[in-house]
Structure 1
Amino acid sequence: MATEFGTATNHQNLVERLVQFLTANPDLVAAGQAYEKVFDNTLPASGTAIAVRQVTLRAPGLGGTDSIFMGIQSYGDTALDYYNVRLMGGTAFNPGAIPPGGDYWTAFANYSPRVQLLAWNQPMPYWFFANGRRFWIVVKVSTIYESAGAGFILPPCPPSQYPYPLAVVGSYRGDVATRWSDVSDRHRGISSPYERSCYLRDPAGRWLGFTVDGGAANESDYNNRTLLPLGCGRYAGSSDTVVKQLRDSFGKFPLKALSFVTRETEGRRNLGDFDGAFYVPTLNSGAEDVIVEDGVDHVVFQTAWRSGNPWLYAIRKD
């Protein structure tokens, strides 16, 4: 429904621009899909820790009748040289539950774990994409592409069966303060999340973590949850090699849905797909390319510093 591309002066300005985009973008306003800012507070700087801004937004959904609560938080440390943005979500928000000088995340009802995007305190290009039920953000930090998003996914069932399909995903787990230059395997993106960087609230109200990797860093309860298509090898041996061989055909690229799948005691379940974000083959495509599908532009990005196979994804320009 709405896009904005520009350059933020630093991570704090990035948050300000994102909040302004979600609450005041003319396309969102005209469609009745602008977000409402229900909380905005800044905790003062202390020592080398810079001021922490905490914003809670309520998204109205596509029809204006939903209440989707999402949080955005900027934080950083001048001595350790990190300047990051956290995302989270919940089913409601009560600012009266915040202790004096405390972190606002405890004011969310049924709150998710936090995920984050690793930014910095210098100018960085950004790409915002949003509709009334979810938003995506990508920033270019030096040569690194950071990505994150929050909002409702697209479940394969009516809302009566899955009333609050909220997901949060980032480039890195939200409980560790990390610099953007980190080159560990945990530093990923929205199409290839690792441990503690992608969560979905399931129909039973549980926050489930999803990953595409079976590495030792993942907790045991991740073994039965994955994000397709890159996570398919976790369920079927080497079948991920087929996905990695996909390429364009006469200039057309297969956009593969990013699907949440669990394999637990109740059997295998497809919980739904990310809205507006897709895996795209690497062959003959690269970061910031534009793919046209059904007459709609999709912008291609790489995963952090990784530009080879299979590290590309595309986000639809609504």
Structure 2
Amino acid sequence: MAAYNGSANSVLEMVKDVVSFLTDPANFDEGKEWALVSPVSAVEIDTVQEVILKGVGDGDDEIYIGLKIAAAAGGQVNLVLNGYAGYDAGLGWREQPGGVSQSVLPTLPLVEDTYMSYWVSANSSRVILVVEMSTQYESAYLGLMKPIAIENQYPYPLVVGGSYYEGGAWTDTGAGHSSFVCPGADANTSLRLRRPDGSWRVGKNQTLGDLCVWPTNVSPVNTLTVFDDVLTMENVIMYPFFLYENNPVGLVGQLDGIYWVGNRQDLATKDSIIYDGKVYKVFNNVHRRDNDSYFAIEWF
């Protein structure tokens, strides 16, 4: 388990730094670092502008995630996100086995040649990335969730989540520009889940989607936010983010290492919470500052 806070002046620089951090054996338990599958060498990232990484999970897993830098209009640069069930050197970044089936993928909408701070929280099964641009925070989740099932019932519970989807502008303040912890209601959203049959489900607002997130995609969302009328850093409330389906109905799993935050009035983005000896970093959902718009990631 590892965490890192860095800065970069371009999306390419950030991606190379994140890959370097994830593939460094010094940052993980022995044999638990991520492996760069494609390209073969990190120096080639400058040319291909895309990467595929493999995690080992508990040690015997093969967890494939992808990042691709794609230029968009107006100086925007999307960090496009994907996940796969395997790797074939003869196939392109989008065509890898078991990749996200929808043609429009989750992204982090960023801006080229601008200063960015970023935070990475990773273990051998998943990677959480938060990027700060000015006063907004774009976030991503790539890797396994914790399924509410035994392993042979849900052998590869892969999640790919961003804070927007391809085609959206980083300046957009609409409901669609929203983190994977609270996906919107558009035809495409920021969240994808690979189901046991290998199909990919799009996370949406509870009234319109088969896949939703608790507690943010429920109504009302302001559930039990205050237990103590004296608000301090120590009495914030953290709920796990659960993924649930409407068709069929039921909980399917929990996002790993990320929690919804209540009692947020005394919190600010980038604050730290210490609970049971563990540190969590607090962020908000893109530009939002509402009571239900804060989350915390494990900071090892």
TM-score where L is the length of structure 2: 0.88
Corresponding residue of 1:189: 179
Corresponding residue of 1:91: 85
Distance 1:51 1:307, change over 3 A: farther
2 CA distance for matches of 1:206 and 1:243? 35
> Deviation of residue 208 (structure 1)?
0.8
Q: Which of 271, 280, 285 is matched with 2:261 structurally?
A: 280
2 CA distance for matches of 1:269 and 1:36? 34
| Native 8 Å contact 2:222 2:292 kept in 1 | no
Corresponding residue of 2:271: 289
Within 5 Å, which residues of 2 pair with 1:69-88? 69-77=64-72, 80-88=74-82
Q: Which of 76, 80, 97 is matched with 1:109 structurally?
A: 97
2 CA distance for matches of 1:190 and 1:297? 22
2 CA distance for matches of 1:39 and 1:203? 26
> Deviation of residue 193 (structure 1)?
1.6
CA deviation string 1:140-194 (max 9, x = no partner):
1111111011000001222111100000100001x31x33222222111132122
Matched position secondary structure for 2:265: coil
> Deviation of residue 52 (structure 1)?
5.5
| Native 8 Å contact 2:127 2:141 kept in 1 | yes
Q: Which of 257, 280, 299 is matched with 1:298 structurally?
A: 280
CA deviation string 1:207-261 (max 9, x = no partner):
11112464xxxxx5x1x3210001122xxxxx43425567786532221111110
| Native 8 Å contact 2:109 2:163 kept in 1 | yes
Matched position secondary structure for 1:15: helix
Matched position secondary structure for 1:146: strand
2 CA distance for matches of 1:160 and 1:10? 42
> Deviation of residue 87 (structure 1)?
1.0
2 CA distance for matches of 1:243 and 1:52? 48
| Native 8 Å contact 2:139 2:162 kept in 1 | yes
Within 5 Å, which residues of 2 pair with 1:135-146? 135-146=127-138
Within 5 Å, which residues of 2 pair with 1:1-318? 1-24=1-24, 26-28=26-28, 30-40=29-39, 53-61=49-57, 63-77=58-72, 80-98=74-92, 104-106=93-95, 108-112=96-100, 113=102, 114-121=105-112, 122-173=114-165, 175-176=166-167, 178-194=168-184, 195=186, 196-212=189-205, 214=207, 222=209, 224-233=210-219, 239-243=220-224, 251-264=234-247, 266=248, 268-281=249-262, 282-318=264-300
Distance 1:74 1:41, change over 3 A: farther
2 CA distance for matches of 1:260 and 1:152? 12
> Deviation of residue 70 (structure 1)?
0.6
CA deviation string 1:34-86 (max 9, x = no partner):
111111289xxxxxxx975111111111x221000111111214x62101211
CA deviation string 1:102-122 (max 9, x = no partner):
xx211x111114211112221
Matched position secondary structure for 1:287: coil
1 CA distance for matches of 2:65 and 2:174? 28
2 CA distance for matches of 1:253 and 1:17? 32
> Deviation of residue 283 (structure 1)?
2.2
TM-score where L is the length of structure 1: 0.84
| Native 8 Å contact 2:221 2:292 kept in 1 | no
| Native 8 Å contact 1:87 1:116 kept in 2 | yes
> Deviation of residue 132 (structure 1)?
0.2
Alpha-carbon RMSD across the aligned residues, in angstroms, is: 2.2
> Deviation of residue 9 (structure 1)?
1.6
> Deviation of residue 27 (structure 1)?
2.3
| Native 8 Å contact 2:231 2:266 kept in 1 | no
2 CA distance for matches of 1:88 and 1:119? 17
1 CA distance for matches of 2:286 and 2:51? 25
2 CA distance for matches of 1:144 and 1:82? 15
Which amino acid in the other structure matches residue 34 of structure 1?
E
Distance 1:283 1:212, change over 3 A: farther
Which amino acid in the other structure matches residue 98 of structure 2?
N
2 CA distance for matches of 1:93 and 1:67? 10
| Native 8 Å contact 1:191 1:278 kept in 2 | no
Distance 1:51 1:287, change over 3 A: same
Distance 1:115 1:51, change over 3 A: farther
> Deviation of residue 287 (structure 1)?
0.5
